[in-house]
Chains A and B, each alone.
Chain A
Amino acid sequence: MRILLIEDDQEMRDFVTSELVTAGHEVTGCADGRDGLMLAATKDFDLLVIDRILPRLDGVGVVRGLRAMAIGTPIILLTALGRVDERVQGLRAGADDYLVKPFAMTELVARIDAVKRRNSFRQDQNILQVGDLSLNRLTQVANRAGHKILLKPREFRLLEQLMLNAGMVLTRTMLLESVWDYHFDPQTTLVESHICRIRAKIDRGFVCAMIHTVRGAGYRISVDPVA
């Protein structure tokens, strides 16, 4: 994927660049808002990673500028500011995701994959299918190999998120945000307990498990146990 990274902190930029290159992306770096806006507007990128605070034109300004020019390239905003209203402001300006520093690189990589997928994969299908597991989004009923599986509302939302991002890692934070709309870190095993409930419903009694725990990263649903 061709990624434009607009970040004024050079150390940070170098590190993120090397990490994303390792993850298989092609990265262009840029240190200020106005140049970044020009680059994003004139060259072809698959995704933009933009810091919130930049010289000359701040990150939200860049997002607004691009959206005003009807450029729909997916954008992830990085920020050292963590206020809830700032997050809302960033998303309202047109960003696709919002990540608060300090974050783990696995988090950024997972979010890049998810944002990319959200923009390329049809999100409005009524039936989601992964291997022999299917999920009807209208009736909220799952089916594995002909066995009907009833889900509670939250279990449905969790399974839906996993299946929409089938084959990709969803971090705990991503699940908390997308499934629960919690923008803080619960001190209990909230995500783990719910994952456990779903596993009991869809994996118990089957030879191969579909929900995989990716150590130090998150959860992934796929037929194949290895990513």
Chain B
Amino acid sequence: MTAPQQQASLFRMASFRLAVLGMLFSLIAAVVVFALIYEATGIAAREELAPIVAGDRADLLSDTQADGWPLAREIALAEAIGGHTYYELTNAAGQKLAGTTLAPHDWNHWSDVTRLEDPALPPGVEQIDGISVKLADGDRLFVGEDASVFAILNRRIALIFAVVFGLLIGLGVLASLLIAAYSLKRVRAISEASTDIVAGDLSRRIEAYGIDDELDVLTTGLNGMLETIERLVKKAQQVTSDIAHDLRSPLMRLRDRLVRIERLALAQGQAGIADELREALRQTEIVTSIFSSLLRIAEIEAGALSGNFVPLDLSALVCGVAEEFLPVVEDQGQSLELAVADGIWILGDVPLLIQMLVNLVENAIRYCPDGAVLTLSLTRMNDGFAWIEVADTGPGIPEADRERVFERFVRLDRSQNTPGHGLGLPLVRVIAVFHGGSVTLLDNAPGLRVRVKLPTVRRNEKLAVDSH
């Protein structure tokens, strides 16, 4: 038995997560490509402008020599003529001597001053690229060219990248949400079908979309498996029904005959024979009882019982059974102590669980002497299981026999004086296993401690099942 599926969320879907991861990768790739292009335009600008800058500087310096004017004057003249070349002359201390005032920049390195860094750039100029050199007198001369074309180019490239990748990512998110919603819908359908099947509806199938995608392949596979399970369970039900019918009917006829002979014997005054026949009748009842228990075990093992699993309050169920047996325990001169935790819910079949609890309690009552103390407890463990424990202070079971008693017809009391037919514990085990649990026998020192572990449901799962 599987626990009900947790409610899946759209954003937790694997397909959505994968799509988001993919988009993240393409975003990184876009940033890298843009950085490379930016770098390339920078290199192109430098290759384009460096010779011009060098020429302008050489012209300026040769002009000062030829004219005999101070450099500052030549710079003022050059800038007054206009053009795309900008100059800045500073002394060694960094004080400005002539030219355009620019934001600080590297010395001896090709550098660009953008409007972003220096809002005081001349109007219409977005970027100036150039280089500073140290002159013979210690002053520093920066010569730069208007590189606005490159700046605008970069800006346009950035815009195109933003638009294209923004669109791509937006569409990607939308597409992955749609894919996730589709997967979620189909996964939910599978999950709901499995809940129905666990609850006993074996004829339930999962709807295929007929589009041959991976979920259709999975659906077809699951439906094939369900088909087989349903067929096997039906067969098991048929077999157990046949066995039941083929054995119960002759038992009934045997019983009728014995009753008739008993009456005849009484009518003919043969009381001794009548007594014998009554004993024979009692034996047929024992046969019937053993047969019913065996059949029940076989039905549960074969999964032939269409398990009617419902969310149920195990705490209430355990308390209820304990209360029923209190008078029996008292009549036996024993006592029963209860330690039942509240509000433990499991998914289970009520009649089967009651039979299991009754078997556990009755075993303790029957194998313990007067004065024995029985303890029935229900505890919630941290691993999602609940422990039902029935402990007694009776004779216990030797460790070597603790596994053997789960086999059918194994009774440790060889004299066979105690009533019962050795099918109590095997039945407890198949019912526990049927519910996804297990049974173990432990030493209660003195006495026996039977521990049944059953998987619990969390409250939200319970509600999910309820609303379903």
Contact = CB atoms under 8 A, between A and B. Distances in A.
A197 B358 CA distance: 20
A171 to B, nearest CB: 13
Contacts of B241: 81, 83, 86
A9 interface: yes
A23 interface: no
Interface string B45-88: 00000000000000000000000000000000000000000000
A227 B330 CA distance: 32
Interface in A166-214: 180-190, 193-194, 196-197
Contacts of A11: 253, 256
A101 B366 contact: no
A105 B354 CA distance: 28
B327 A194 contact: yes
A83 B324 contact: no
B358 A182 contact: yes
Nearest to B306: A85
B327 A187 contact: no
Contact of A12 (B244, B256, B292, B306): B256
A3 B160 CA distance: 94
B424 A187 contact: yes
Contacts, number: 94
A138 interface: no
A154 B252 contact: no
Contacts of A9: 249, 253
A104 B282 CA distance: 11
A15 B263 CA distance: 13
Contacts of B98: none
A106 to B, nearest CB: 10
Contact of A188 (B244, B255, B256, B365): B365
Contacts of B260: 15
Interface in A76-90: 80-86
A53 to B, nearest CB: 6
B248 A186 contact: no
A21 interface: no
Given A188-B366, A194-B327, A102 B252 contact: yes
Interface in B251-266: 251-256, 259-260
Interface in A83-138: 83-86, 100-105
Given A80-B245, A82-B244, A184-B355, A190 B259 contact: no
A196 B249 contact: no
A188 B248 contact: no
A204 to B, nearest CB: 15
Task: Identify whether the interface residues of A are mostly helix, strand, loop, or mixed.
Answer: loop
Nearest to B418: A187
B328 A193 contact: yes
Contacts of B308: 85
B220 interface: no
Given A81-B244, A81-B245, A187-B362, A102 B255 contact: yes
Nearest to A155: B327
Interface string B342-366: 0000000001001100100010011
A80 to B, nearest CB: 4
B284 interface: yes
A104 B255 contact: yes
Contact of A190 (B288, B289, B325, B330): B325
Nearest to B250: A102
A15 B424 CA distance: 34
B366 A80 contact: no
Contacts of B351: 84, 181, 183
A196 B260 CA distance: 33
A183 B327 CA distance: 20
B223 to A, nearest CB: 24
Interface string B408-420: 0000000000011
Contacts of B424: 187
A123 to B, nearest CB: 24
Nearest to B251: A102
B276 interface: no
Interface centre among B240, B256, B323, B419 (most CB of A within 10 A): B256
Interface centre among A12, A82, A196 (most CB of B within 10 A): A82
A189 B328 contact: yes
B208 interface: no
B292 A82 contact: yes
Contacts of A15: 256, 260
B129 interface: no
Contacts of A188: 325, 328, 362, 365-366
A182 B317 CA distance: 13
7 A-B pairs closest in CB distance: A80-B248, A102-B252, A193-B327, A80-B245, A101-B252, A15-B256, A102-B251
Given A84-B305, A189-B328, 15 more contacts: A9-B249, A15-B256, A82-B248, A83-B240, A83-B304, A86-B241, A102-B248, A102-B254, A102-B255, A180-B324, A182-B355, A183-B351, A184-B292, A187-B366, A187-B420
Interface of B: 237, 240-241, 244-245, 248-249, 251-256, 259-260, 284, 288-289, 292, 295-296, 299, 304-306, 308, 323-325, 327-328, 330-331, 351, 354-355, 358, 362, 365-366, 419-420, 424
11 contacts: A12-B253, A81-B248, A85-B306, A102-B255, A105-B259, A182-B355, A182-B358, A186-B362, A187-B366, A188-B362, A189-B328
